[in-house]
Amino acid sequence: MPRLPLLLRFAAIALLLAVAPSACGKLGLGGHSTSKELPSPRELKSIRYMSQAPGPDGRKVFNHLEQAKSCRDLAVAMRWDRPPDLRAGPFDQKMVYISSQVPTSLPKDSEVLVTGVIRRGQPLAAGGSVWSLRLKDGSELQAVESAQYTEKQEEAQQGGGKATMIHPFTPGRMLCAYGVYQGDIGLALSGHGHVPLVSVLFAMDRVR
């Protein structure tokens, strides 16, 4: 498995997401009133079952992202908390939402939320997990979660948090993964060639 140079740099986010699900929505907030890419009122209405709390600037944010019933709902909540057209978070980056082919211009080390269908998933011998995902347009992406972050998600669930991983290795289920884009260095499912790789800091599997 390739080394993931930004894992230490992103440890603070990973701890918020994986160790304390109650803080999952706090990915760096503020200044969202100027965003032109917020979810529509109809989209927000569809996730009103998810809890909200005032953020640092008083604006309500979704603070229990693990409550999302689907990857679509998770993406809507995150787009509200982290609109894609605004820089935010500890590292002042724009969140990139990927459900189709990864843009060729996407810089390495970008923060991403990837949503795709699990083609194959399995635990790694040294701990952690790896997935081959099919995106909407049929393109492929590889996602790898290290043992450290897998264990932290398991600890959060054992501590009473809502289950994020239910059947993570079942083909056909959806995987939504927040992490760091590592470039076109993943291994294709066929074993030939390379595909985009994301190092996962937090992930959920859902039926859709």
The pLDDT, as a whole number, for residue 206 is 97
The pLDDT, as a whole number, for residue 156 is 67
Q: By residue range, what is the domain housing residue 100?
A: 11-206
Does the pLDDT at position 21 exceed 60? no
The CATH number of residue 195's host domain is 2.40.50.140
62: Cα separation from own chain's centroid: 15
pTM confidence score: 0.81
> How many other C-beta atoms can be found within 10 angstroms of the C-beta atom of residue 5?
12
Tokens at 18, concatenated: 């994986």
State phi, psi for 80 to the nearest 5 degrees.
Answer: -75, -45
Tokens at 175, concatenated: 């995987």
The structure tokens 């944010």 sit at: 61
- Comparing CA positions, the residue from 71, 79, 201, 95 lying closest to residue 148 is 201
| Within-domain flag for 1 | no
- Of residues 119 and 4, more confidence is placed in 119
| Within-domain flag for 5 | no
Q: Which residues pair with 94 in a beta bridge?
A: 87
| Within-domain flag for 6 | no
Q: How much is the average pLDDT of 54-77?
A: 92
The pLDDT, as a whole number, for residue 19 is 32
Distance of alpha carbon 128 from alpha carbon 122, whole angstroms: 9
- Of residues 196 and 163, more confidence is placed in 196
Does the pLDDT at position 158 exceed 70? no
| Within-domain flag for 116 | yes
Q: Which residue type is seen at 161?
A: G
Domains in the chain, number: 1
Q: What is the pLDDT of residues 174-194, one digit of tens each?
A: 999 999 999 999 999 999 999
Say which DSSP state 136 is in.
T
Q: What is the pLDDT of residues 67-126, one digit of tens each?
A: 999 999 999 999 999 999 999 876 789 999 999 999 999 999 999 999 999 999 999 998
Q: What is the pLDDT of residues 7-16, one digit of tens each?
A: 333 433 433 3
Distance of alpha carbon 44 from alpha carbon 42, whole angstroms: 5
Distance of alpha carbon 131 from alpha carbon 124, whole angstroms: 10
Does the pLDDT at position 24 exceed 50? no
- To 10 degrees, the CA torsion angle through 150, 154, 157, 158? -160
Does the pLDDT at position 48 exceed 90? yes
